[in-house]
């Protein structure tokens, strides 16, 4: 299970522990936040090219199918495919914990038209958590926004609204954006470049707790 084996990139994608053993997580991220380098290195000239190449070589992200017996009739056996989901209860728990983060709360309240955070994009956040290979305690605010940014990349034609993520993370400070994109690249790499999430998987994720308030964020219900 991916979440049970820490990714080799977990040090890059998770906050550091303080001397007291507690996770240091500022309410409003900035240069002092544990996942922000004081002087982030510039991206290499081939970074964008490598990113596009990786996406072109991406493997479909559906979980592996298994064959199960649907019915028996004498010596005849009817089989059907059954999807095995990699999403576990702990990934839902991580998602619910991050929904309580003050910056995440403000962002969701701001996105009243659900341009960046409708129920399907939020389902993809949980799917990405299941693929990234970090321990549950390692997921922090930055991972929520990276996953949401990736989901918007994959599903949305209008890319402008997702830029609001930077405002909530960094305010007017634009110097941290290159680091965000570096972490985004590392996050995708930790998922094995599997960024596609089917509608079926999104609906399975929502069915785990169908009464959860976040699944009411449905664009089709907006006048």
Q: 179: pLDDT confidence band, cut at 50, 70 and 90?
A: very high
What is the residue extent of each domain of the chain?
2-221
Residue 95 vs residue 45, higher pLDDT: 95
CA distance 139 to 174: 24
Percent of the chain scoring above 90 in pLDDT: 54
Indicate if the pLDDT at residue 191 is higher than 80.
Answer: yes
Indicate if the pLDDT at residue 33 is higher than 90.
Answer: no
pLDDT of residue 32: 33
**What number is the average pLDDT over the span 149-160?**
92
Task: Name the residue among 106, 204, 107, 194 with its Cα closest to residue 150.
Answer: 194
CA distance 169 to 177: 10
pTM over 0.95: no
Contact 209, 95 (CB under 8 A): no
pLDDT of residue 205: 95
For 96-153, the pLDDT digits (tens) are 999 999 999 999 999 999 999 999 999 999 999 999 989 999 999 999 999 999 999 9
CA distance 222 to 59: 34
């Amino acid at each position: 299970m991916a979440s049970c084996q820490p990714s080799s990139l977990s040090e890059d994608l998770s906050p550091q522990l303080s001397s007291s053993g507690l996770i240091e997580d500022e309410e409003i991220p900035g240069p002092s936040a544990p996942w922000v380098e004081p002087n982030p290195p510039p991206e290499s000239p081939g970074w964008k090219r490598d990113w596009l190449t990786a996406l072109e070589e991406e493997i479909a992200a559906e979980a592996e199918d298994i064959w199960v017996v649907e019915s028996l009739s004498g010596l005849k056996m009817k089989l059907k495919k059954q999807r095995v989901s990699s999403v576990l209860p702990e990934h839902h728990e991580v998602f619910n914990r991050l929904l309580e983060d003050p910056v995440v709360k403000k962002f969701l309240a701001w996105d009243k038209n659900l341009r960046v955070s409708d129920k399907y994009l939020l389902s993809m956040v949980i799917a990405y958590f299941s693929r990234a290979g970090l321990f549950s305690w390692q997921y922090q605010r930055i991972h929520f926004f990276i996953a949401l940014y990736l989901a918007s990349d994959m599903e949305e034609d209008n890319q402008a609204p997702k830029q609001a993520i930077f405002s909530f993370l960094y305010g007017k400070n634009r110097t941290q954006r290159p680091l965000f994109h570096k972490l985004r690249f590392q996050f995708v790499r930790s998922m094995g470049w599997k960024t596609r999430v089917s509608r079926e998987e999104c609906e399975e994720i929502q069915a785990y707790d169908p009464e959860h308030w976040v699944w009411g964020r449905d664009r089709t219900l907006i006048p």
